[in-house]
Chains A and B, each alone.
Chain A
Amino acid sequence: MNSQTPVIQVDGLSRSYRDVAALQDVTFTLQPNVICGLLGRNGAGKTTLMRMLTGQAFPSAGSVRLFGENPVENSAVLQQICFVSEAQRYPDGFQARHILAGAPWFFSNWDAAFADELVGKFRLPLKRDVKKLSRGQQSALGVIVGLASRASITIFDEPYLGLDAVARHTFYDTLLADYAEQPRTIVLSTHLIDEVSNLLEHVLVLDEGRLLLDQSAESLRGSASAVAGRAGDVDSFAEGRQVLHRDTLGGLATVTIAGRLTAADHRAAAAANLEIAPVSFQQLIVDLSTRSAPAPAVASVVHE
């Protein structure tokens, strides 16, 4: 797949507001038809990045290319993009039916029958002022627009605030089923990392405006382990390894170690009475983005 032209090319992208750097020198490319997770803590720069990807905000430095073109004021590019924002605002008096009526005028791949089906699945009231819908119903509306747009690049920013577990699983299932039928590039920004981790093929992690990780989800999975036992034994096992996180409880310690452990490591740990447990996807990203040490070194260690 790597020989294909990337659909998203971001090069040295920076954005600062006064003296606050929202994004710093972010560079990555994304291949077509990949489901990519854009992860990071609140304020890490996710929304800023997505707004610049979609031409809604302007970079201080660096460039964004979608399908090889600058997206700003480029309607040929923009009409193949759908950005579903958690903070989407709607005009007064607009109802869901107005929005679904207007969407096909701007999204060239819009599928009205699919939108209708989703309205039923999410039980979205069509004839109520959108501003009076619950948070979850507003999210459902966004999800419906995003899925039914069938845009070549669909970007979801926290698409399921207020959605209950049933509705979220409806979203995941529908996304997967529709993606399988009509592959397209999907960027999913969320902090419900564990819920979506199995859906992702690629992961971008932002932390304090910097790109911390840019790698395949599978290579990240299992790329760190939690080692627990007596503090002294744990520390001597961890010596010379990259420790992402360390917790102590009395004389006991748990450390998160980057990199895959070999069979020899497992034997050594067993001999020292240490317990080794896998670190969940979410925990790994939390550990990576709460570290104080500079990021790039980590990314290269975790890389396979």
Chain B
Amino acid sequence: MTAISTAPPVPRLSNRRRTIKVMRLHLVNRLTYVGIPWIITGVALVVSIVVALLISASVPEANRQDALQGMSYSWAVLSPLWYLAVVGVQAVNAVFPFAMGFSITRREYALGTLLTYVVIAAFNATGWAILTEIERAINESGVVFHHFTALWFGEAGAGTVWLSLFSLQILLFAVTSAFGAVYARWRAMGMLVLWVSVALVVLGLMAFAVLTGMAPPFLDWLMGMPAPSFFAALLLPSALAFALGWGALRRAPLRG
């Protein structure tokens, strides 16, 4: 009997193709990433419309405009983001063990997941930014209603709205999946150490800023920062969180 070679008999699929396939795997059930965020968007919008109608019906005409303006302080536009925080945890908690069961490497999983986040965040941000523009046009026609044109979305340009929504989603995904990855690697002890270190770093920075008298100028600088720069800068802590998540995940064992 001739000895067979040790080379794998199946041609090697490029890592890039498998990474794309991890993205497809995340999206095979589109309810998680696309369905539910948009259902939440729709429900929140309906609630805002009902609130606006109630205000119109109950507030005397003289004060009605002011009352409706007050809706621009509602955070309703950001409500799908809280759900996406859950998705970030779930991606590591459940999709990672599932992906390992499909013989996917940790690197393919991490890159594919990051890619999924970027695509989904861009998709959602685009949708919400378009709705913001539509609402702005409605407002210009004289109907006062604020759901999307709330917070900074009122004044900012479409590009800034898109960037802010995009980078907020990325930050949420990055932070929640980093926590998920630390848990996958070191379990409860890892969580404890992570929370304590985050608290220590925040406290340390605050103490440093207050004691050196750098706090007021720093806050002024932060507040004075143009919105696009601020939201672009949010991608930096996101990158750090992703790096932490990958560091934890690349040696995370699968457990029972």
A interface list, Cβ under 8 A from B: 1, 3-5, 32, 47, 51, 54-58, 67-69, 73-85, 87-95, 98, 101-103, 105-109, 151-152
Closest Cβ of chain A to B30, distance in Å, is 10
A106 touches B28 (CB 8 A): no
The listed residue (A3, A73, A76, A91) touching B8 by CB distance below 8 A is A76
Closest Cβ of chain B to A217, distance in Å, is 21
C-alpha spacing A6/B196, complex, angstroms? 49
B29 touches A106 (CB 8 A): no
The listed residue (A51, A81, A108) touching B254 by CB distance below 8 A is A51
* Residues of the A chain whose Cβ atoms lie less than 8 Å from the Cβ of B25: 102, 105-106
For A88, the closest partner residue in chain B by CB is B101
C-alpha spacing A73/B109, complex, angstroms? 10
The listed residue (A47, A55, A74, A152) touching B10 by CB distance below 8 A is A152
A75 touches B105 (CB 8 A): yes
A75 touches B102 (CB 8 A): no
Q: Which range contains the number of B residues in contact with the other chain?
A: 35 or more
Closest Cβ of chain A to B29, distance in Å, is 5
A108 touches B13 (CB 8 A): yes
* Residues of the A chain whose Cβ atoms lie less than 8 Å from the Cβ of B108: 75
- One digit per residue, 1 when the CB lies within 8 angstroms of any chain A CB and 0 when it does not, for chain B 100-136 equals 1111111110000000000000000000000000000
Would A73 and B103 be within 8 Å (CB), given that A56-B254, A88-B98, A105-B21 are in contact?
Answer: no
Instruction: Identify whether the interface residues of A are mostly helix, strand, loop, or mixed.
Output: loop
Closest Cβ of chain B to A103, distance in Å, is 7
The listed residue (B3, B11, B94, B256) touching A92 by CB distance below 8 A is B94
B29 touches A98 (CB 8 A): yes
C-alpha spacing A78/B11, complex, angstroms? 12
Supplied contacts A73-B107, A89-B97, A152-B8, 4 more A-B pairs, CB within 8 Å: A81-B103, A83-B101, A84-B101, A89-B94
A85 touches B8 (CB 8 A): no
Would A75 and B8 be within 8 Å (CB), given that A57-B253, A89-B97, A90-B98 are in contact?
Answer: no
* Residues of the A chain whose Cβ atoms lie less than 8 Å from the Cβ of B8: 67, 69, 76-77, 80, 152
A91 touches B32 (CB 8 A): yes
* Residues of the B chain whose Cβ atoms lie less than 8 Å from the Cβ of A47: 256
Instruction: Identify whether the interface residues of B are mostly helix, strand, loop, or mixed.
Output: loop
C-alpha spacing A55/B253, complex, angstroms? 9
Closest Cβ of chain B to A24, distance in Å, is 18
Which residues 1-44 of B have a CB within 8 angstroms of A? 1-13, 15, 18, 21, 24-25, 28-29, 31-32
B29 touches A58 (CB 8 A): no
* Residues of the A chain whose Cβ atoms lie less than 8 Å from the Cβ of B253: 51, 56-58
C-alpha spacing A109/B25, complex, angstroms? 18
B235 CB–A CB distance under 8 Å = no
Closest Cβ of chain A to B103, distance in Å, is 4
* Residues of the A chain whose Cβ atoms lie less than 8 Å from the Cβ of B255: 57
C-alpha spacing A85/B101, complex, angstroms? 8
* Residues of the B chain whose Cβ atoms lie less than 8 Å from the Cβ of A101: 28
List 16 A–B pairs whose Cβ atoms lie within 8 Å, in order of A's numbering.
A51-B254, A55-B105, A56-B254, A57-B255, A69-B6, A74-B105, A75-B104, A75-B108, A78-B104, A79-B10, A87-B256, A89-B98, A94-B98, A102-B24, A102-B102, A106-B21
B6 touches A1 (CB 8 A): no
For B36, the closest partner residue in chain A by CB is A93
C-alpha spacing A67/B24, complex, angstroms? 29
* Residues of the B chain whose Cβ atoms lie less than 8 Å from the Cβ of A87: 256
Q: Among B15, B21, B102, B104, which residue has the most Cβ atoms of chain A within 10 A?
A: B102
- One digit per residue, 1 when the CB lies within 8 angstroms of any chain A CB and 0 when it does not, for chain B 238-256 equals 0000000000001101111
* Residues of the A chain whose Cβ atoms lie less than 8 Å from the Cβ of B13: 75-76, 79, 108
C-alpha spacing A107/B10, complex, angstroms? 11
A4 touches B94 (CB 8 A): no
* Residues of the A chain whose Cβ atoms lie less than 8 Å from the Cβ of B12: 75-76
B95 CB–A CB distance under 8 Å = yes
B56 CB–A CB distance under 8 Å = no
A92 touches B105 (CB 8 A): no
* Residues of the B chain whose Cβ atoms lie less than 8 Å from the Cβ of A92: 32, 90, 94
For A76, the closest partner residue in chain B by CB is B12
A78 touches B21 (CB 8 A): no
B6 touches A5 (CB 8 A): yes
A109 touches B10 (CB 8 A): yes
C-alpha spacing A80/B24, complex, angstroms? 20
C-alpha spacing A91/B27, complex, angstroms? 12
B103 touches A88 (CB 8 A): no
B6 touches A68 (CB 8 A): yes
The listed residue (B1, B97, B98, B105) touching A4 by CB distance below 8 A is B1
* Residues of the B chain whose Cβ atoms lie less than 8 Å from the Cβ of A67: 6-8
* Residues of the A chain whose Cβ atoms lie less than 8 Å from the Cβ of B94: 89-92
Would A106 and B6 be within 8 Å (CB), given that A75-B15, A79-B13, A93-B29 are in contact?
Answer: no
Closest Cβ of chain B to A100, distance in Å, is 10
